[in-house]
């Protein structure tokens, strides 16, 4: 065998291997394809123009589709080699508007593949630039999304309508504003695109450009005719630009008359958005030009927004600029009022510390912040709030009107939290357990008599006894306790008359101390007590939370 014969055999083997690998890569199901279709598709994928021309006599091969609904025409439309599509167009008598299973035409597929020359060729052979795919996207819209100036120009020259409405009234100009393509935007405007066109949500291209922080496109739109600064959904363009975090967009809009004191339908100002998102440079820009009246009318301070978003730097800036950390919300769904409530409910210790250090009060919300922290089992926040004077013996009677302070309801099963509260001054006065209470007020006995709490009442009462002198309990509570394993120890303590002098002294000294003093480590450390006595007064030997931290 001479060298020429060997070379020819090698070429045949290589060609066979290439075709096999192409077929495997595209996973063409042979069960739905004839041999002629399979050959045509393999030739297209391999870019074999000569083989396609030889197949031109077999018209049926170009009318059949694979399992995806793709004709040879569709496969050729996405190929880089322009000659492949030429050969297929010469071999088919189709309308060029046939769709795949996904609703794509050859033109939309070519646009998605970024094949400019194929688009020109299809348009030249009569393909319509107006037919959308099943996603209601026009070839022009797809070309804009691909950020291809040449494709957009070719489609417009081929008759594409620049104001063609796609899904949710989205047009090519909206897509250009979203993508930030300045050259394409200018091209669309020169061919009749309207800057006042609104999408399905009532947003203009100006709003889209602002929302996505595309300052160059925004500048173009501002300088082309009448601008619309408020969308029909109520959000201002400046509000959307603030949300993008692009300072250039914000400054550009302000330079051209955008009003920072116009609120959205949700009563949100741009300053609220900047504070919530943490865009501190934009916040610095908006603070001096946002009026106190606009903020008051919105019913919400930017301090609320910064606390809700957990933006410590923005929070510190607002505090530095004199914003009130105790500003109250109006008409919020769950009746919260203060920025501190947002920080505590989000479990944000850092923002809570900043607010408290700046003088935030803990008693302005109907549901006190301390109760929110207790219910969330956030020991760190509970300690922080207590150290800043939070009232542990507060009441929230909207859901259940109990004779005892509400905190106990939230930590009945959490003995670590309960011990922390008792150490911090929670009332454990046993006259709350008596039967002489007001009508419609739930007594301790009634509260603990429900079956779901019966198994823990013994431990709770035993714990409460560490914080009282001699007390008596009502008959109903006694009956409940007698069924608990802790009863022997409880009855032994109740039978002691009086309690130890050391214990009574501790109670008397604590009764003369304010809760703020009792819960402030620095104040206690500066007091006239030696370390051992201070530990005894603060129930350090029963500090379950401290024990957990030391493990």
Give the pLDDT band of residue 93 (cuts 50, 70, 90). Answer: confident
Q: What's the maximum distance between 2 C-alpha atoms anywhere in the chain?
A: 120
Q: 343: closest CA among 317, 320, 319, 315? A: 315
Q: 172: closest CA among 158, 157, 191? A: 191
Q: Has residue 26 got a pLDDT over 70?
A: no
Q: Has residue 332 got a pLDDT over 50?
A: yes
Tens digit of each residue's pLDDT (9 = 90 or more) over 209-246:
999 999 999 999 999 866 656 665 678 999 999 999 99
Give the pLDDT band of residue 13 (cuts 50, 70, 90). Answer: low
In angstroms, rounded to a whole number, what is the distance separating the alpha carbons of residues 52 and 342? 69
Say if CB 136 and CB 171 are below 8 A apart. no
DSSP, res 484: S
H/E run at residue 446: helix 444-448
**What is the reported pLDDT for 170?**
94
90 inside domain: yes
Q: Has residue 81 got a pLDDT over 70?
A: yes
What is the model's pTM? 0.83
Question: First and final CA of the chain: distance in angstroms?
Answer: 84
Q: Which residue has the higher pLDDT, 345 or 34?
A: 345
Mean pLDDT, residues 364-391 taken together: 95
Percentage with pLDDT > 90 across the chain: 49
**What is the reported pLDDT for 550?**
58
Range of weakest confidence among 126-130, 167-171, 198-202, 224-228: 224-228
**What is the reported pLDDT for 21?**
43
Say if CB 99 and CB 90 are below 8 A apart. no
In angstroms, rounded to a whole number, what is the distance separating the alpha carbons of residues 526 and 513? 14
In angstroms, rounded to a whole number, what is the distance separating the alpha carbons of residues 500 and 131? 93
402 inside domain: no
Mean pLDDT, residues 352-368 taken together: 96
Mean pLDDT, residues 388-397 taken together: 91
Question: What are the tokens at 374?
Answer: 């207790």
* 26, 59, 94 - which closes a domain: 94
Number of domains in the chain: 2
Any residues with CB less than 8 A from the CB of 47 and at least 6 apart, and which? 79, 80, 81, 83, 84
497 inside domain: yes
In angstroms, rounded to a whole number, what is the distance separating the alpha carbons of residues 205 and 197? 7
Cα 259 from chain centroid? 27
Q: Has residue 99 got a pLDDT over 60?
A: yes
Using CA atoms, how far residue 91 sits from 49, 239, 340, 396, in Å, is 12, 56, 74, 82
Query: Which domain range does residue 489 map to?
Result: 411-551
DSSP, res 470: S
Q: 460: closest CA among 401, 498, 417? A: 417
496 inside domain: yes
21 inside domain: yes
Q: Has residue 431 got a pLDDT over 70?
A: no
Mean pLDDT, residues 434-440 taken together: 60
In angstroms, rounded to a whole number, what is the distance separating the alpha carbons of residues 63 and 301? 66
DSSP, res 529: -
Q: 111: closest CA among 87, 142, 133? A: 142
H/E run at residue 157: helix 149-157
Q: Which residue has the higher pLDDT, 90 or 432?
A: 90
Neighbours of 268 (CB within 10 A): 20
Query: Exposure string (b/e) for 286-313, b if CB count within 10 Å is 16 or more?
Result: bbeebeeebbeebebbbbbbbbbbbbbe
Any residues with CB less than 8 A from the CB of 294 and at least 6 apart, and which? 260, 261, 262, 263, 269
Cα 26 from chain centroid? 38
340 inside domain: no
Say if CB 272 and CB 300 are below 8 A apart. yes
Question: What are the tokens at 273?
Answer: 């958005």
* 42, 62, 94 - which closes a domain: 94
* 94, 114, 131 - which closes a domain: 94
Tens digit of each residue's pLDDT (9 = 90 or more) over 192-204:
999 999 999 889 9
């Amino acid at each position: 065998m001479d060298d020429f014969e060997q070379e020819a055999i090698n070429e045949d083997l290589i060609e066979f291997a290439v075709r096999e690998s192409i077929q495997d890569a595209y996973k063409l199901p042979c069960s739905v394809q004839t041999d002629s279709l399979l050959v045509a598709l393999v030739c297209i994928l391999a870019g074999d123009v000569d083989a396609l021309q030889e197949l031109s006599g077999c018209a049926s091969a170009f009318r059949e589709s694979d399992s995806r609904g793709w004709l040879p025409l569709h496969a050729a439309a996405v190929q880089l080699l322009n000659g492949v599509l030429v050969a297929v167009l010469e071999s088919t008598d189709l309308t060029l508007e046939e769709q795949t299973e996904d609703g794509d035409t050859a033109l939309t597929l070519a646009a998605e593949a970024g094949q400019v020359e194929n688009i020109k060729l299809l348009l030249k052979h009569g393909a319509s630039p107006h037919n959308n795919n099943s996603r209601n996207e026009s070839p022009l819209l797809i070309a804009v999304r691909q950020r291809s100036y040449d494709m957009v120009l070719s489609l417009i020259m081929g008759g594409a309508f620049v104001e063609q409405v796609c899904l949710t009234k989205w047009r090519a100009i909206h897509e250009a504003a979203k993508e930030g393509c300045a050259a394409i935007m200018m091209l669309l405007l020169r061919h009749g695109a309207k800057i006042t066109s609104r999408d399905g949500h009532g947003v203009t291209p100006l709003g889209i450009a602002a929302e996505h922080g595309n300052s160059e496109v925004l500048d173009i739109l501002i300088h082309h005719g009448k601008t619309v600064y408020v969308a029909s959904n109520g959000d201002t363009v400046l509000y959307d630009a603030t949300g993008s975090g692009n300072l250039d967009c914000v400054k550009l809009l302000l330079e051209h008359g955008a009003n920072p004191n116009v609120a959205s339908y949700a009563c949100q100002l741009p300053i609220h958005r900047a504070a919530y998102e943490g865009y501190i440079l934009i916040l610095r820009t908006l603070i001096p030009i946002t009026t106190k009246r606009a903020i008051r009318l919105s019913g919400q301070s930017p301090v609320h927004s910064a606390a809700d978003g957990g933006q410590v730097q923005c929070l510190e800036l607002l505090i530095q600029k004199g914003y009130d950390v105790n500003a109250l919300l109006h008409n919020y769904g769950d009746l919260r009022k203060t920025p501190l409530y947002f920080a505590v409910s989000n479990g944000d210790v850092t923002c809570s510390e900043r607010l408290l250090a700046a003088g935030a009060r803990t008693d302005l919300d109907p549901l006190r912040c301390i109760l929110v922290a207790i219910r969330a089992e956030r020991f760190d926040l509970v300690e922080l709030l207590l150290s800043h004077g939070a009232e542990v013996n507060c009441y929230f009677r909207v859901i259940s009107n109990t004779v005892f302070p509400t905190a106990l309801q939230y930590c009945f099963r959490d003995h670590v939290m309960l011990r922390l509260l008792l150490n911090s001054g929670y009332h454990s006065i046993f006259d709350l357990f008596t039967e002489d209470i007001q009508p419609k007020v739930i007594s301790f006995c009634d509260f603990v008599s429900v079956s779901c709490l019966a198994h823990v009442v013994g431990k709770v009462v035993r714990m409460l006894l560490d914080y009282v002198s001699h007390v008596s309990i009502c008959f109903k509570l006694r009956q409940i306790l007698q069924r608990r394993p802790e009863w022997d120890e409880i009855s032994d303590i109740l039978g002691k008359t009086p309690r130890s002098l050391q214990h009574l002294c501790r109670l008397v000294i604590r009764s003369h101390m304010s809760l703020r003093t009792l819960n402030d480590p620095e104040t206690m450390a500066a007091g006239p007590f030696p370390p051992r006595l201070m530990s005894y007064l603060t129930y350090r030997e029963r500090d379950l939370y401290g024990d957990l931290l030391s493990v």
